[in-house]
Amino acid sequence: MKGIIFTEFMEMVEDRFSEDVAEEIIELADLPSGGSYTSLGTYSHAEVLNLVTCLSQVSGAKIEDLVQAFGE
């Protein structure tokens, strides 16, 4: 999956929640990439699924709502 998806997702997390939440979900997800993304990179789609799941756990929001918010 293209890195632009990851950078935009993390930007949404920072804007709608906080930088602290973004850092927390990266730590919680224990990602192979370490959560360091570039817009031109390519990463496993499993990482973004993991990030969304962790954000749901941390924020209490439903996964479906988070995916919709990201799509907007």
- Which domains, and CATH codes, for the chain? 3-71 (3.90.1520.10)
Residue 38: per-residue pLDDT: 94
User: In terms of C-beta distances under 8 Å and separation of at least 24 residues, what long-range contacts does 38-44 make, across chains too?
Assistant: 38/3, 38/7, 39/2, 39/3, 39/4, 39/7, 40/3, 40/4, 41/2, 41/3, 41/6, 42/1, 42/2, 42/3, 43/1, 43/3, 43/6, 44/1
Note the pLDDT tens digit of each residue in 39-54: 999 999 999 999 999 9
Q: What is the pTM of this model?
A: 0.91
Residue 44: per-residue pLDDT: 95
